[in-house]
Structure 1
Amino acid sequence: MYLIFVMTGVLLYSSITRTVFNLPLVWSVEFSQFTMSAYYLLGGAYAMLMRGHVRMDLFYDTWSSRKQGVIDAITDLCLIFYLVVLLIGAVSSIEYAVQYNQVARSAWGPPLAPVKIVMGLGILLMLLQSISTFFKDLAKARGKSIV
């Protein structure tokens, strides 16, 4: 959660140097994008753990606990499939970035391997949390509880 403060500080610093000193920074926006990506990807698994994701519960609250568990387990399986595909792509992208020393095509030109590694780590953590949530929802669908 502290990455938000880092990103805000960098953007504030960039704004001050641009307006007060007429000195634009070539790295600030891209660095902020990398910081926000890390925040978003690493925070996804934590939000799942805390059940903090927004849920549309037009019908959900009226269903029995078992039916909620069944629907949640099906949704978890879809999410797990999606995250596995993302992880395969992330690993491929990380391998490419490391092997060829890939850099961003910008004036700053930072190496992309660190941000892609963070991306892969975030996807992996969310996949692990999704698997854990799947088993909890499966138990709920069977009428049991896993804490």
Structure 2
Amino acid sequence: MTRFLLFIDLLSAWTGKCFGWLILVLTFGVSYEVFMRYLLNAPTTWAFDISYITYGALFLMAGAYTLSRNGHVRADVLYRLWPKRMQGVIDLILYLIFFFPAVIAFIWAGWNFAKMSWMFKELSIFSPAGVPVFPLKGLIPLTGILLFLQGVAETIRCIICIRTGDWPQRLHDVEEMETAILAEQKYQREHSGENAASGKGA
């Protein structure tokens, strides 16, 4: 079961990291437009389209990756104080009642939306450059499928947590600085307490 969970995590991570390179394309496009517009007084006809297409693709395809890292925003004022089994029960209920119905609707609507866009080879209406936008809309149902797969993995994690009382292993590669600092402080407190105890014993 752990292999299955990590396989889905790896799939989400691989997809998110591949599309993460779009941030360089986005940065280049915006920087080039600023240079052309304000220094040469010759704005481009394609920069706006490229910026919203690349940002849209990045935003869509990072969803499953973020979910695999448990990185989505949650109101955990009370949640973090609950026992892990209760956390698992609440998460499981929320996945079944809200997450999966919403994702299935997202896939269904996204598929019809993307299908129409591909049929007409839809172009951008925001500039005379006529940049193709149908590839971006094709990512909508794909995003839904990846979110659904990651949701299955998260549901299994909830069931394992309810059974064992502990959350199963999760891949980690990036961590917020705040989290790292808090972990370091916790480590120092624990070890300073151990050193004080050993000093008393001596």
State whether TM-score is above 0.5: yes
Q: CA RMSD in A?
A: 1.6
User: Aligned residue for 1:126?
Assistant: 147
**1:94 maps to which residue?**
114
Once the two structures are overlaid, the 10-residue window that deviates more, 20-29 or 111-120, is 111-120
Cα distance in 1 between the residues matched to 2:25 and 2:35: 15
Equivalent residues of 2:124, 2:131 under 8 A apart:
yes
Instruction: Supply the AA of the counterpart residue of 1:79.
Output: F
Describe how 1:12-91 pairs up with structure 2 within 5 A.
Answer: 12-77=31-96, 78-91=98-111
1:110 to 109, 131, 155: 131
In the alignment, is the contact (CA less than 8 A) between 1:87 and 1:120 conserved in 2? yes
Find the aligned partners of 2:40 and 2:125 in 1 and give their Cα distance: 26
Residues in 1 aligned to 2:72 and 2:88: alpha-carbon distance in whole angstroms: 16
TM-score normalised by the chain length of structure 2: 0.67
Higher relative contact order (CA 8 A, sep 6+): 1
Shift of 1:146: 4.7
* Moved beyond 6 Å, runs of 4+: none
State the identity as a percent: 27
Residues 25-72 of structure 1 show CA distances to partners (whole Å, capped at 9, x for unaligned) of 121011111111111111111111111222221111221111100111
CA distance in 2, matches of 1:146, 1:20: 54
Aligned residues: 147
Residue 117 of structure 1 deviates from its aligned partner by 1.3
**Quick check: 2:86–2:162 contact (8 Å CA) kept in 1?**
yes
Are the counterparts in 2 of residues 37 and 119 from structure 1 also a CA contact under 8 Å? Answer: no
Contact 2:122–2:134 at 8 Å: present in 1 too?
Answer: yes
